[in-house]
Structure 1
Amino acid sequence: MYKKTYPGMLRLLVVSLITGMGASAAAADIRLQDSHIQPDYVEVERLKSTKEVIVITKETITGKGYKNMGEILNDVPGISVGLTGWGDIDIRGQGSEQAQRNIQVMLDGAPITTLTSHPFMNDYNYIPVDNIEKIEIIPGGGSVMYGSGAAGGIINITTNLKRLNKTENSASFMWGQNEKNGALNLGDKVNEKLSYQLSYTKSDKDLYFVDTYRNSEYWAGALAYQIDPAQRLSFRYSHVQDEGQFIASLQKRNFDKYGKDYVPSGKWITVGIENGEKVRRWVSGYLDAEREMDMYSLNYARNFSRDTRLSADVFYNDGYFKNNSQGDKTMDHSTRGVKLKLDHAYGPDRQHSVLFGLDYYTQEAELAYDDYTGGYGGKPLTIHPLHFFYDKKVRAFYTSNKLTYGKWSFVQGVRREFTDWGYDKEAASSSGQDTRKTKDAAVELAAAYQYNDIGSVYARYEKGFTHPDGIQMADDFGDEIKPSSVTDEKFDLYEIGLRDKIGISTVNLAVFYSETDNQIDRFLHLPPGGGLIRRSLNLYDTKRHGADLSIRQKVNKWTFTEGYSYLKGKSDYNEFGRQFMNEAQKNLTNWTRQSLKAVPKHKFVLKAQYDPNEKVSLAAQYKYVGRYNNFTEDENAAGNQIGSHKIVDFDVTYKITPQVTLYTGVKNAFNEKYASYLTENSGGYYSLLPGDERMYYVMTSYKF
């Protein structure tokens, strides 16, 4: 298949290694102190004083009996998982069609965001919950240091392979009504310089419908070598393998008729030609959950002085997934690249700092399968190989400068990014290949004022960009596939925030407003001259605003937390979009002003935890997801106002010994019936995916 090589991916790292090792003797007294080990990601830490950053710890994850990443994120106000489509993660109300692009997901510092969502969906639930150390969420923003996708936000996942200064030895087993999950972690220091970590996780899950399941295995290992007191080199490898079958949605009438016993209709597919005849095979109607992925990363950390430190990450991941019911069609994907960060403190008291960064990586995705033509009208039956290949190469450099004067902090940042897009497509009736180059810039300006030991306020402006999905880079003209005329989306984000302790409450508040005035849409178009075209154009102007509020109280043995999010947005045609629709003689959408599609306006999560002693912890959580619109035009509102739902969980933690802990609880204790995904209701016909029912779980963990 058409693949691009990646020469010189390691050049920058090799130069850094040679330079660093050559100077190691002179720098022997410069140690990697805790201040240099923490935080794991300097770019995240730089944002915290002038940006909302949500941190979910391992303790929180373990104590809730979560099954996957989606469940963890769905308990965060301001985030919805699955409402806009199977596997979609929506941060700050991006809404239908936008959530899957307006996000960037990082795993141990390497990007794993899907390059294209067409034709098969993808999710991020293949990351085992047992191996997650923490999740850092940057809602809306971070474009200077992360690039495309920050309009919705950044999700930074850290596993137990990231930091090896403290290795882990543990075993755990979880039993749920429909799930069994086991994990083993082994780690140790071989000597003063070398340490290792090994992990294995196996999970078997029965899903909602009959004969649906997802079984996963995960192997991982890491080595860390302390070259000298100022330098560290670490290598990580992980392999994930899924198999199973599932249902992403079904017609409401079928759900009412069959419930959990619904079985999707199977079909015959053609798998080859023999003696001039089609060879056919029967396949079920379930979507295939098969997936394999290998992930490699190499990190080099170097302290040149007390003020200057370098971090270099080289990463490579490669794999495939199916997520379809079309036989052997698989989506292959890979990412490889390098990220360099140089952090320098300066000023009379080292109170200022500047971060320089360089990103260089390539993503590829390919779907290839055979089509069969002829076999009628005297035409011989022939095989027509089809393929859909996308690639994207990103080269970017950025700098973020932080100035501190007494109680004031000021941040200025800029990013310059160069992107090379390519596609090579052979469809059933059309084909084409081309390349395209784009240039983007991101800017951030922020200020924070700490008015007492705890309290601070901040204000932030950010201008960023979002790349198109792979499918949006080309238009299909029926017999020829040509480059589309879309430009990268641009957004402006304004945010103000407050952090303080008011009485017994610790308060965090963020209020934001954002606008994207060239949002992309892909649609079918019949021009006046005839010929059906699939086009992508920058047609819309979308505005969003909202607020996130979190409050925490500690009263004797009680801990209370309250989280609330308010989200609202609206779309309309921009000047170009309105002109195009008029010239194309297409009916203009009468955009609703109520809200964006599939964005709950209100969501809050309340939690109470009681710790009667050092061994026992009792917790209850109440989550409310408000009603939302499942339409874009007010005339379609009937039957498309989706009601709210409420979920109550109870959890118990019991430390039997310092090494053994027992976790148990019930999720959705009152068995609330709700849909986690719904398509728009058209004349009584729509599809849905029911939400999880009540589930009891028991888990034990042993540390040794």
Structure 2
Amino acid sequence: MKKRIGILSFLISAAVFAQGTTIELDKSVIKNQNRERDFIVVPKVSKNTFTVTQEEIRERSYKNVEDVLKDAPGVIVNNTAFGPKIDMRGSGDKSLSRVKVMVDGISINPTEEAMASLPINSIPIESVKKIEIIPGGGATLYGSGSVGGVINIVTNSNATKDNFFMDLKYGSFDNRNFGFAGGQNVTDKLYLNYGFNYINTEGYRESEDNQNTTFLGGFDYKINERNKIRFQARTNKDKKDGTTEVSKKILAENRKAPGLNMDIDTDNTSYTFDYELRATDNLSFGATYFEQMQKRKIKAESIDDIEIVVTTGNRAPVELTNLFKDVPSMLDATMKEEKKGVKLKSVYNYNENKGSLTVGYDYLHAVNTRKSRVESKVLVDYFESRDRGYHWRKMGLNATEQGPLINNIDIKLKKDSHSLYAFNKYELTDKLDITAGIRGEKTIYSGYRKNGPNKIPFTGVKTSNIDTDESMKNYAGEVGTLYKYNDTGSVYLRYERGFVTPFAAQLTDKIHDSELNRGKGQSKPPQVNVASVYVANNLKAETTDTLEIGFRDYILNSYVALSLYATDTENEITTINSGVTNPAVRRWKYRNIGKTRRMGIELEAEQEFDRLSFQQSLSLVSAKVINGSEKYGIVKGQKIPMVPNMKLTLGAKYNITDNWSVLSSYTYVGSQEARELDKNDKVVEYKIKGHGVIDAGLNYKIDSYANLKFGIKNLTSTKYNLRETSLEAYPAPERNYYLELNVKF
């Protein structure tokens, strides 16, 4: 309570201090003005949005898009071994399927969840023009996966003037970063753009080294007054020579202690081609074709106890527990995701531009393939117990039984979606706008999962297959209104029905295999703690109902935006994972919760003075189960897992002189509940603590073209974890430093 009172006091004090000053409104409000080279712009929904400008990005010395979003209002960046995930409005562990992230209007979300992440760091930060953050998204315009929100990363691909940016950075952990981006109007019709970024760092923990290299380029060509085209290409290579999480006991003794080896090499490639025809002054047509490909190679070590329970004899059965202690194994996996899509769109402005009707069609074809092999060392010795572990004796396998434990996986899954939508915006008066939209989508799933041939001591070789052949239809709609009650203030009300379709991989669970082939003399199938099998789960699509109200205005010369929302979700998809993070032995179950409810408040404020400026944001989320299932340990009143209860950001900047300035920021992410499976597939609940981090920086403006910056991240050396289970964790860096040189023309 004291913390919240302090937050409100800070906001009120800043607002009162702002009296007698003048603030420019256009620094906080997203404008909807088409530039000469802009392609068809997506219509704005009636709600509060937030924009991080290029000036703010360069001022704060962010090294990538991930760092920008960590400081952004209402956005939670979740860290995984494979990269970042973005959470908005309490999306939790399902954020990949509930928050849509786009680059120049094209989604970059993966179409599978296992070992997946968002490739947001494959975009050179120097080429980012702005980042638009739309809490709550818009199911009509963006389709499945936008109920939590939409983030659109806008690049300099269609700038209207020549530009060049270059950054040279050095920081703690031998972090070296060099990047540049620019654009050139070759003629009055042809604009070329390019970008490059390279990062090399040893990492916070021992035995870690990361490299990230990105190239991009493209052109924008105005054929004539009615026709224009644009092409963009981007390629990225990310190499992580890292280690896995370690036990929390080890972490308490040495936060830099390495885990087991985990190397991940990722290649991202994307191509986008746009065409626009302005048939008349009021009618435009647009077409986009895009391809995206991500290929990952993963090598991960694991050390596990392998327990094999064998039952022999029929009349007087004897149960033998055979334990192989600390068995090392290696996962070698290749994963590939290919996406191809078409977006067709038409915009018609009518009644003297008071009305705007957008009609469109979206098509996406996604293919996910995976080939992996887990192989242990050759098993020779083990411990045997005839009394369920009370007494053990050392045993040895004979020569014919000796060999490694082997697990092979071969997966190919496809997802095709066809969508039609219409969205209308109309100005009833100079002060009152209304919006309405509808969308229909058909999703088709196909493919297979092959598990095997698998080899385990005391069991026969086993291969199992499961095919996927499903389809589903879903519908979305929305209606909203916005009223401008004065020159600076507006209030809005909005209702949306949305949906979230499952990933193809979510249609199956990975659980303990209790039907292994019997070995010689066994009366029952053996039980092996590391043996898993895929089974269908009859998962359904989620449906959501969201009601939102909000306003934005100047109060005591302070810009303020406030939103209140409530979202009910039927058949919400949730994941229950095992307590280990190593993908070689991880298991999971996907389940539809009966009904959940998320209620929240989002507050943003800004104040500017002659030399001093403040920014604040506060997001509060209550996410609970309304109707659950005791069978799966999900009951009424239970909190939705992996949803932080709040996020607070505070920022300040002081211009000491025309050349010197200091900046500081504080970001707090609240606590969250979590669930996982124990070794017996029982649900275990635990809590992850909240944490706050302070950053500070000093900027020196050398001249109109160059800046020098020095800064400290995590000033107070707060100890927290980037990710954790009940057993293991991966620590965040403590206090670290950076030095940066920026050049722009």
Is 1:489 paired with 2:542? yes
Q: Post-superposition shift, 1:402?
A: 0.8
Judge conservation of contact 2:509–2:590 (CA < 8 Å) in 1: yes
> Any residues of structure 2 matched to 1:261-272 within 5 Å, and which?
262-264=257-259
TM-score, with length taken from structure 2: 0.77
Change (3 A) 1:198 1:524: closer
1:646 and 1:381 map into 2 onto residues whose CA distance is: 46
In the alignment, is the contact (CA less than 8 A) between 1:214 and 1:289 conserved in 2?
no
Distance 1:401 1:444 in 2: 10
* 8 Å Cα contact 1:184-1:199 kept in structure 2: yes
- List per-residue Cα deviations over 1:50-108 (Å, max 9, x = no partner): 1232211122122222233332212123222227886332111122x322321222122
- Residue 683 of structure 1 is matched in structure 2 by none
- Check 1:290–1:409 CA distance in 2 against 1; reply closer, same or farther (3 A cut): same
Q: Is the 8 A contact 1:341 1:356 kept in 2?
A: yes
Match of 1:691 among 703, 727, 732: 732
2:375/2:404 contact within 8 Å kept: yes
Kept in 2: contact 1:472–1:522 (CA 8 A): no
Partner of 2:113: 117
The 1:42–1:323 alpha-carbon spacing in structure 2 relative to 1, beyond 3 Å, is: farther
Match in the other structure for 1:410 = 434
- 2 CA distance for matches of 1:642 and 1:379? 43
Counterparts of residues 175-574 of structure 1 (less than 5 Å): 175-178=170-173, 179-247=175-243, 249-260=245-256, 262-264=257-259, 285-322=260-297, 324-325=299-300, 326=330, 328-347=332-351, 349-370=352-373, 386-406=409-429, 407-428=431-452, 429-474=463-508, 484-521=537-574, 536-574=590-628
The 1:697–1:60 alpha-carbon spacing in structure 2 relative to 1, beyond 3 Å, is same
Q: How far 1:557 sits from its partner (Å)?
A: 2.0
Question: Take 2:702 and 2:290, find their aligned partners in 1: how far apart are those partners?
Answer: 41
| The one of 170, 174, 180 aligned to 2:165 | 170
For residues 693 and 648 of structure 1, what CA distance do their matches in structure 2 show?
Answer: 11
Q: What are the residue-to-residue correspondences of 1:4-83 with 2, within 5 Å? A: 35=34, 37=36, 42-43=41-42, 45-47=43-45, 50-82=46-78
* Alignment-derived partner of residue 624 in structure 1: 668
For 2:669 and 2:234, locate their aligned partners in 1 and report how far apart those are by CA, in whole Å.
35
For residue 711 of structure 2, the aligned residue among 656, 665, 689 is 665
SS at match of 1:98: helix
- Deviation, 1:359, is 0.6
Q: Distance in 2 between matches of 1:689 and 1:610?
A: 35
Is 2:659 the partner of 1:615? Answer: yes
Distance 1:286 1:62 in 2: 35
Verify the 8 A CA contact 1:83 1:678 in the aligned structure 2. Answer: no
Which range moves more in the overlay, 638-647 or 438-447?
638-647
Instruction: Answer yes or no: is the 8 Å Cα contact 1:597–1:632 preserved in 2.
Output: no
Give, in whole Å, the separation in 1 of the partners of 2:210 and 2:403: 41
> In structure 2, how many angstroms separate the alpha carbons of the residues matched to 1:191 and 1:553?
42
CA RMSD of aligned residues (A): 3.2
- Structure possessing the higher radius of gyration over alpha carbons: 2
Shift of the alpha carbon at 1:540? 3.0
Task: Provide the C-alpha distance between the structure 1 equivalents of 2:148 and 2:602, rounded to a whole number of angstroms.
Answer: 14
Q: Is the 8 A contact 1:120 1:323 kept in 2?
A: no
1:84 touches 1:598 (CA, 8 Å); kept in 2?
Answer: no
Do the aligned residues in 2 keep the contact of 1:135 with 1:157 (CA within 8 Å)?
yes
AA partner of residue 510 (structure 1): S
Residue 95 of structure 2: SS of its match in structure 1? coil
1:400 is displaced (CA, Å) by 0.5
d(CA) in 2 for partners of 1:341, 1:146: 12
Distance 1:259 1:608, change over 3 A: closer
1:244 deviates by 2.5
For 1:331 and 1:554, how far apart are their aligned partners in 2? 49
1:629, CA displacement in angstroms? 3.5
Change (3 A) 1:630 1:535: closer
Tell me how far apart the structure 2 counterparts of residues 336 and 637 of structure 1 sit (CA, whole Å).
38
Deviation at 1:168, TM superposition (A): 2.5
- Note the residue ranges of structure 1 that are not aligned, 5 or more in a row: 1-32, 265-284, 526-532, 681-685
The answer as to whether partners of 1:128 and 1:218 remain within 8 angstroms in 2 is yes
CA contact (8 A) 1:141 1:462 kept: no
Question: What is the SS of the residue equivalent to 1:100?
Answer: helix
From the superposition, tell whether residues 541 and 632 of structure 1 become closer, same or farther in structure 2 (CA, over 3 Å): farther
In structure 2, do the counterparts of structure 1 residues 380 and 251 end up closer, same or farther at CA, with 3 Å as the change threshold?
Answer: closer
Is the CA contact 2:676–2:685 (under 8 Å) kept in the aligned structure 1?
no
Please give the secondary structure, in 2, of the residue aligned with 1:412.
strand
Q: Quick check: which one's strand share is greater?
A: 2
AA at the equivalent of 2:725: T
Deviation at 1:294, TM superposition (A): 1.3
SS of 2:96's equivalent? coil
2:505 aligns to what SS in structure 1? helix
Letter in 1 for 2:601: A
